[in-house]
Amino acid sequence: MYSKEKVIIRQYPKAVFFYPTFLVSLFTMIFINAGFPSNGITGAIFCIAFGFNFLVVAIEFTKNLFINMIIGFTTMIFCGLWLRGIYPDLFGRLLALITNVELTMSDDFYSFMTFIFAATFIFIIIEARFEYCEITSNELIVHSGLFADVKRYPSPSLRYEQSINDVFESMLLRSGRLKLFISGEKEPFILDNVPFIKRKFAALDDILSRTEVKVVDNKSA
């Protein structure tokens, strides 16, 4: 159960979904410094992680697209098995072609990529400290920067809805989009890439279900 007096909601840029590549780069750098050699296996792992992250950031994998990808991948497997019966040496040639590709990077490459990702994530975290929404049972406060004006709205009339459009983004950070419909505003206030969106939504349900009422006791003299 949620019993907080306020809910802090922050949105993040899509760059945060590159954290698997950052972790691969970090652990590879640690292993290399511990004495393990940099070879084609470490390079292949890094390239696969980076390629996956790039697809996640570049394409919005909706549920329909995700289902179509599964169907297409299954179809490719059956077509591959069918072709294997016709051309028995086809998979052997493809495997030999893939294994001949050398994806070997230098030790400095992994150190440089780790530094770049770490610096980027630090800047993202710092920026998110100053751009966020603060919601209490009576008020919505929008902070939009270090020197920006703070906007305040009454929260009892606030409407909100969540949507999870990207399957992979939801898998990586349980993230989604949160729309805040503010009374008096024509357009909703949209927060994209909110991590753990379902927890935030549940916290909003709890805190906005409570309304602070101030009772004044007027006693006659």
115 inside domain: yes
Per cent of the chain over pLDDT 70 is 83
Domain boundary (78, 110, 126) is at 126
Structural domain boundaries, residue 150? 6-14+131-208
CB 53 within 8 A of CB 18: yes
137 inside domain: yes
Q: What is the dihedral of CA 43, 44, 45, 46, to 10 degrees?
A: 50
Interval 25-38: pLDDT, tens: 999 999 888 888 77
CA–CA gap between residue 166 and residue 90 (Å, rounded): 36
> In this structure, what token pair is assigned to residue 138?
């009576």
187 inside domain: yes
The enclosing domain of 174 has a CATH number of 2.30.29
CB 79 within 8 A of CB 91: no
213 inside domain: no
Residue 157: C-alpha distances to residues 6, 77, 140, 184 (Å): 16, 53, 10, 10
Number of other CB atoms surrounding residue 63 within 10 Å: 12
* Pair (76, 142) in one structural domain: no
- The pTM (predicted TM-score) of the whole model is 0.75
218 inside domain: no
* Pair (143, 200) in one structural domain: yes
215 inside domain: no
* Pair (48, 109) in one structural domain: yes
* Pair (68, 161) in one structural domain: no
220 has pLDDT over 50: no
* Pair (25, 75) in one structural domain: yes
* Pair (141, 119) in one structural domain: no
Residue 221 pLDDT = 39
1 has pLDDT over 80: no
Overall domain count for the chain: 2
Interval 46-104: pLDDT, tens: 988 999 899 888 888 777 777 877 887 788 777 766 666 776 676 666 665 556 667 78
164 inside domain: yes
203 inside domain: yes
> In this structure, what token pair is assigned to residue 91?
């998979």
* Pair (107, 74) in one structural domain: yes
Interval 151-165: pLDDT, tens: 888 877 888 888 888
**If you average pLDDT over every residue of the chain, what do you get?**
81
Q: What angle do the packed helices 63-86 and 90-99 form, to 10 degrees?
A: 120
* Pair (119, 19) in one structural domain: yes
